[in-house]
Amino acid sequence: MTALEEELPQHLQGNWSPVQEERTIADLTVTGTIPPELDGRYVRNGANPITGFSDHPFTGDGMIHGVRLRDGAAEWYRNRYVQTPFIADPDRAVIDMAESLTDMTSSKANTNVVGHAGQILALEEGHFPYALDGNLDTVGPTDYDGRLTGPFTAHPKICPDTGEMLAFGYSMMEPYLTYLRVSKDGTLEQVENITVGGPTMMHDFNVTRNH
Ligand SMILES: [Fe+2]
């Protein structure tokens, strides 16, 4: 670790150092064999502040790293920033709380990434999902044809029986908690308020067949 790195907060040191270069690497070397039935992308999301600095681990810009697997080969590795408003305008790097509560596109998109209904979604729990294409380039924020009007969790659950994506949104403002159900084909079919006592923060949840 360099002396300069030691000056930085722990979440920007060593293995947590921001990656700021977007790369595309083909013909990856494979150690051992990749099962040929694996056909898809292995992707991860994490915070990489585009300015090189964030004052908190949660406020870095979302960057998706992925490996494309097909026919027993690792076709590519690539990493891409999720193109949020904070990437277009790094002067906006500091999150404005009032704006964050009302502008559902003002996401850092840095918490999780899931695949559903043919889309890759970069998620953070206070705003709309950001859709990505198969090459990890950003399509844009999605509000499910206007049906989503508030935050969307970073931890939706995909039902192995129905293919539906079950999710929720929470807020400091009414409605405090909303249940969301996206159909297998990507239509937001259910938006239902859940009565709770007041402003809510809820990071994750779980769902069973009956509860
Ligand atoms: Fe989490």
Give backbone dihedrals phi and psi of 85, rounded to 5 degrees, phi first.
-60, -20
Q: How far is CA 128 from CA 53, 80, 192, in A?
A: 24, 19, 17
Q: Are the CB atoms for 105 and 127 separated by under 8 Å?
A: yes
124 CA → ligand 1 middle, Å: 9
108 CA → ligand 1 middle, Å: 14
Give backbone dihedrals phi and psi of 10, rounded to 5 degrees, phi first.
-55, -35
Give backbone dihedrals phi and psi of 15, rounded to 5 degrees, phi first.
-65, -15
d(CA 40, CA 113): 14
d(CA 193, CA 7): 46
Each of the 211 residues of the chain gets a pLDDT tens digit; together they read: 566 667 899 999 999 999 989 999 998 999 999 999 999 999 999 999 999 999 999 999 999 999 999 999 999 999 999 999 999 887 776 678 888 888 999 999 999 999 999 999 999 999 999 999 999 999 999 999 999 999 999 999 999 999 999 999 999 999 999 999 999 999 999 999 999 999 999 999 999 999 9
For 10-162, where are the alpha helices, taking DSSP H only? Answer: 85-88, 97-102
DSSP type of residue 196: -
pTM as predicted: 0.94
Burial state string for 142-152 with b = 16 or more CB within 10 A and e = fewer than 16: bebeeebebbb
Give backbone dihedrals phi and psi of 17, rounded to 5 degrees, phi first.
-60, 140
11 CA → ligand 1 middle, Å: 16
List residues bridging with 178 in a β-sheet: 169, 193
Q: Are the CB atoms for 24 and 76 separated by under 8 Å?
A: yes
44 CA → ligand 1 middle, Å: 13
4 CA → ligand 1 middle, Å: 30
End-to-end CA distance of the chain: 49
DSSP type of residue 14: G
